Structure 1
Amino acid sequence: MTIQNPSPLLYNEDLAPAEERKWGAFSIFNVWTSDVHSLWGYYLAASLFLLCGSFINFVIAIGIGSLVIFFLMSLVGNAGVKTGVPFPVLARASFGTFGANVPALVRAVVACFWYGAQTAAASGAIVALLIRNESILAFHQNNHMLGHSTLEVICYVVVWALQLLIIQRGMETVRRFQDLAGPAVWIMMLVLAVYLIVKAGTFSFGSEIPRDVLLEKTKDAGVPGEPGSFPALAAVAATWITYFAALYLNFCDFSRYATDTKTLRKGNLWGLPINLLAFCLVAGVTTTAAFTVYGEVLLHPEAISAKFDSWFLALLAALTFAVATLGINVVANFVSPAFDFSNVFPRQISFKRGGYIAALIALILYPFAPWETSAAHFVNFIGSSMGPIFGIMMVDYYLIRKGELNVAALYQESGEFRFRNGWHRNAFIALVVGALFSSILPTFTSILPEWWATYGWFFGVGIGGIVYYVLRASARGSAVGAAT
């Protein structure tokens, strides 16, 4: 679709509706392999496995969570296929042509946090390999800078810089890279699992880990109930769903390149419920086998591979985990802020420049390492901040506009989505109310019960979406695009 006479404050070639749609089901599938098959994804899956307490509990909790993820991704993905626009442009329909910069910047900041977390995880895998050498281990223990060991800083900067090489070539290079990175980590995960099962001499799923060990490892997870209890299983499903909170917003950044909705559905089906459950099961088996072999619960795969007797196998594991983490950073934490920052200043910031800005922010954040907390706490806090945005956008697109959107008007300053000087007051009222209950009150006060934060994203989606719908329904004449 060609946009006629777009406003230069709202348009550049990167933000324009996608014209070339070459992404098939395999590429969509690998969006999810790249997004999940990372060190952080494994760490979260292994952590949630401990909270389930048994094989069947894990399958139920993760299975239900994965089906919900599939449904939610289909909602935003179909909007991307139909309109061909990236997330910040789609947000203009509900937040206004210029108001959309606020949710875009929220998503960009979250991406910068995750970029740093994933880069730190990838560099940690390299560090774990290098310190097998005694002299490097001594350097690691005795030399420090920026609150980390000097070796950790060096590895972080190297991994950080390697990712810039990928984004320089644009979205088609991103697609090719993820088509290689996703399957590669699957192979390495299976090698890791088989190696440990053979070394353990038995195949089991959780039964080898004593109850007292499970209780000790999960006592600070911030999840109500003991492992295996209904509250714990509900929290596992909720945390798994919340882990994808960022991509619920910007999956249209990728689905806009899909050939059609049938292709998108096929890629999502294999990449989400099927792939997610299989990946989590491998993580659970590996965690159990590692406990049998080494006598301790190892939630980080690089910590497991560091114990391998074979240096070559440890090297292969470290490199594969690093590549996998590069994959998720490029997919989830480069592409989104690249479009988001470009949306704020389309004349000055291109897709590539937006990605460079995100990378620079992640580099600045490294000395503070805000991601160094428990998996469940970090995921739920980061995810809850984006719940209201998702709720508002989906209510606007599906309930108010019935899936019909004037795409050309998204690029016009004085068009349908101008609202009040480019800002939609109703959307921001709903955003503030939703954020109050999803992240502000549960994080900074003790007014709400402790379990509330685990479900913060859901409260944000529901409250933000309902408030927005009520405000729109009661607006003057209830006309779509009315200046309210």
Structure 2
Amino acid sequence: MSLSNPSPALHNEDLAPATERKWGAFSIFNVWTSDVHSLWGYYLAASLFLLCGSFLNFIIAIGLGSLVIFFLMSLVGNAGVKTGVPFPVLARASFGTFGANVPALVRAVVACFWYGAQTAAASGAIVALLIRNDAMLNFHQNSHMLGHSTLEVICYVIIWSLQLMIIQRGMETVRRFQDWAGPAVWIMMLFLAIYLVIKAGTFSFGSEIPRDVLLEKTKDAGVPGEPGSVAALAAVAATWITYFAALYLNFCDFSRYAKDVKTLRKGNLWGLPINLLAFCLVAGITTTAAYTVYGEVLLHPDGISAKFDNWFLALLAALTFAVATLGINVVANFVSPAFDFSNAFPRQISFKRGGYIAALIALLLYPFAPWETGAAHFVNFIGSTMGPIFGVMMVDYYLIRKGVLDVNALYQENGEFRFQGGWHANAFIAFAAGVLFSSILPTFTSILPAWWGTYGWFFGVAIGGGVYFMLRMGARAKPAFAT
């Protein structure tokens, strides 16, 4: 759509509603293959698979969780198709024209941190391959810089640069990369699974893994309870749903390029419940087969590839894991901060410049490697605030506005979404209430039961969205720009 006199403080070419909508169902499908097929995604999928205890439990917990993910992504995705705007612009409808910078920058901070973490994971897979060579191993052990081995630094910079080359050419290049990388990763994953199952000589679902070993290896997945119990299955589903918390916010950054809602629905259907179930199944089968072959629970795929006797297979595996991690970084941790930083300073920062800023931050973080320390807990704490943000935005769009939004007003400083000087007090009150119960109380106090944290994101969505709805209903008689 064409905008009428948009404010320069709220608009640039990248933030404007999408005009070229070339993304078909296959490209949307590959958003999800790129998002979940990472080293951490594999670890979580394999862990949750094993904690289900049986194939039927796996279908129930992961299947139901994946259907919920499909529903939630459809909510924000449909809004992106209808309005054509990215996440930080859509957030202006509920948080205000300038208040929207707060949820946008929260999302950007988390993305920059994990951008560095995922880049380090991808480069680590390459390092694991190279040190199979004695000369490289000697170089790795004896040459150091910036707190890492020189080999690690070189590989990190190479992976970092490759990602920058993809993103600097814009969203169409992102789409083409995904359309190639998604199928390639799936082919390699299936190959690895079949190879290990044949080598193991059996097809199993992890029942032979001793319970104490299983619980020790999967403790970082955050699933309490006895494997296979009702409590564990509920936690498995909740953990799987929460894993996508960041994308619930900024999936409209991608869906805005979809041809129509029907195309989006088809891509989401194949990319979410169907793809997620298949991915978890393959990850679980590969892990259990690797246990039979190597006698270890290897939940990280680069650990499996390091065991391969065949150098060529190890090369294929390392490249696959690197490409998979590049995919999730571009989707989850690069595109979003690029738009988020651009939204904060649209006159100075374009989409490309926003991406460069995100990449630079990740590069500057590398010497400190905060993802290897307790800082990860801090970022997870910040990330849990995404629940209330999602709740506020979806309640505003679907329950308050009934899916009808004046897109042109999103780019006007003195229009409908000015609220109180560009900030919407009701949204921030609701946001604070949600954060209190999703993040602050479960993290810093023992007031709430121990299991609360597993479902913190859900409480954040419900409380943040509920408080916002009540506040808006209470002010219903007032003009929209004054509430």
Distance in 2 between the 1:319 and 1:218 partners? 25
Q: Does 1:443 align with 2:443?
A: yes
- What is the CA-CA distance between 1:378 and the residue it aligns to? 9.0
CA contact (8 A) 1:472 1:478 kept: no
CA contact (8 A) 1:18 1:257 kept: yes
Q: Does 1:310 align with 2:275?
A: no
Distance in 1 between the 2:54 and 2:382 partners? 28
Q: Does 1:414 align with 2:419?
A: no
| Count of residues paired in the alignment | 482
- What is the CA-CA distance between 1:280 and the residue it aligns to? 0.4
Distance in 2 between the 1:215 and 1:249 partners? 32
Partner AA of 1:482 in structure 2: F
Cross-structure match for 1:369: 369
Cross-structure match for 2:458: 458
Moved more, 273-282 or 133-142: 133-142
CA RMSD in angstroms comes to: 1.8
CA contact (8 A) 2:204 2:289 kept: yes
Residues 46 and 147 from structure 1, CA distance in 2 versus in 1: closer, same or farther, beyond 3 angstroms?
A: farther
Distance in 1 between the 2:420 and 2:150 partners? 52
Q: Does 1:172 align with 2:159?
A: no
3-state DSSP class of the match of 2:334? helix
CA contact (8 A) 1:55 1:206 kept: no
CA contact (8 A) 1:391 1:461 kept: yes
Partner AA of 1:39 in structure 2: L
3-state DSSP class of the match of 1:420? coil
CA contact (8 A) 1:28 1:268 kept: yes
Partner AA of 2:170 in structure 1: G
Q: C-alpha deviations, 1:291-350, integer Å up to 9, x for none?
A: 000000001101101111110111111111111111111111111111110000001000
Distance in 1 between the 2:341 and 2:277 partners? 34
Partner AA of 1:124 in structure 2: G
Cross-structure match for 2:244: 244
- What is the CA-CA distance between 1:202 and the residue it aligns to? 1.2
Partner AA of 1:132 in structure 2: R
- What is the CA-CA distance between 1:476 and the residue it aligns to? 5.9
Distance in 1 between the 2:313 and 2:108 partners? 37
Distance in 1 between the 2:269 and 2:377 partners? 28
CA contact (8 A) 2:396 2:469 kept: yes
CA contact (8 A) 2:110 2:379 kept: no
Q: How does 1:239-318 map onto structure 2 within 5 Å?
A: 239-318=239-318
Distance in 2 between the 1:363 and 1:219 partners? 30
Residues 265 and 476 from structure 1, CA distance in 2 versus in 1: closer, same or farther, beyond 3 angstroms?
A: closer
Distance in 2 between the 1:198 and 1:350 partners? 51
CA contact (8 A) 2:222 2:239 kept: no
Cross-structure match for 2:481: 482
Residues 276 and 219 from structure 1, CA distance in 2 versus in 1: closer, same or farther, beyond 3 angstroms?
A: closer
CA contact (8 A) 1:6 1:411 kept: yes
Distance in 2 between the 1:11 and 1:306 partners? 49
3-state DSSP class of the match of 1:477? coil
Q: Does 1:347 align with 2:347?
A: yes
- What is the CA-CA distance between 1:380 and the residue it aligns to? 6.1
Give unmatched runs, 5+ long, in structure 2: none
Moved more, 257-266 or 144-153: 144-153
- What is the CA-CA distance between 1:157 and the residue it aligns to? 1.7
Distance in 2 between the 1:368 and 1:220 partners? 22
Residues 382 and 179 from structure 1, CA distance in 2 versus in 1: closer, same or farther, beyond 3 angstroms?
A: farther
Q: How does 1:21-420 map onto structure 2 within 5 Å?
A: 21-219=21-219, 221-372=221-372, 381=381, 383-420=383-420
Partner AA of 2:233 in structure 1: L
Partner AA of 2:51 in structure 1: L
- What is the CA-CA distance between 1:409 and the residue it aligns to? 0.3
Partner AA of 2:162 in structure 1: L
What TM-score, normalized to structure 2? 0.96
Residues 455 and 348 from structure 1, CA distance in 2 versus in 1: closer, same or farther, beyond 3 angstroms?
A: same
CA contact (8 A) 1:28 1:271 kept: yes
- What is the CA-CA distance between 1:46 and the residue it aligns to? 1.2
Distance in 2 between the 1:220 and 1:29 partners? 28
CA contact (8 A) 1:61 1:237 kept: yes
Distance in 1 between the 2:363 and 2:108 partners? 14
What TM-score, normalized to structure 1? 0.96
Distance in 2 between the 1:58 and 1:369 partners? 35
Taking every aligned residue pair, what percent have the same amino acid on both sides?
87
Q: C-alpha deviations, 1:267-297, integer Å up to 9, x for none?
A: 0000000000000000000000000000000
- What is the CA-CA distance between 1:48 and the residue it aligns to? 1.6
Residues 373 and 229 from structure 1, CA distance in 2 versus in 1: closer, same or farther, beyond 3 angstroms?
A: farther
CA contact (8 A) 2:113 2:379 kept: no
3-state DSSP class of the match of 2:481? coil
- What is the CA-CA distance between 1:454 and the residue it aligns to? 1.2
Residues 267 and 224 from structure 1, CA distance in 2 versus in 1: closer, same or farther, beyond 3 angstroms?
A: same
Distance in 2 between the 1:368 and 1:278 partners? 36
Residues 380 and 358 from structure 1, CA distance in 2 versus in 1: closer, same or farther, beyond 3 angstroms?
A: closer
CA contact (8 A) 1:391 1:464 kept: yes
Cross-structure match for 2:7: 7
3-state DSSP class of the match of 1:22? coil
Q: C-alpha deviations, 1:365-384, integer Å up to 9, x for none?
A: 2234343479x979964642
Partner AA of 2:421 in structure 1: N
CA contact (8 A) 1:126 1:318 kept: yes
Distance in 1 between the 2:280 and 2:189 partners? 11
- What is the CA-CA distance between 1:231 and the residue it aligns to? 1.5
- What is the CA-CA distance between 1:250 and the residue it aligns to? 0.6
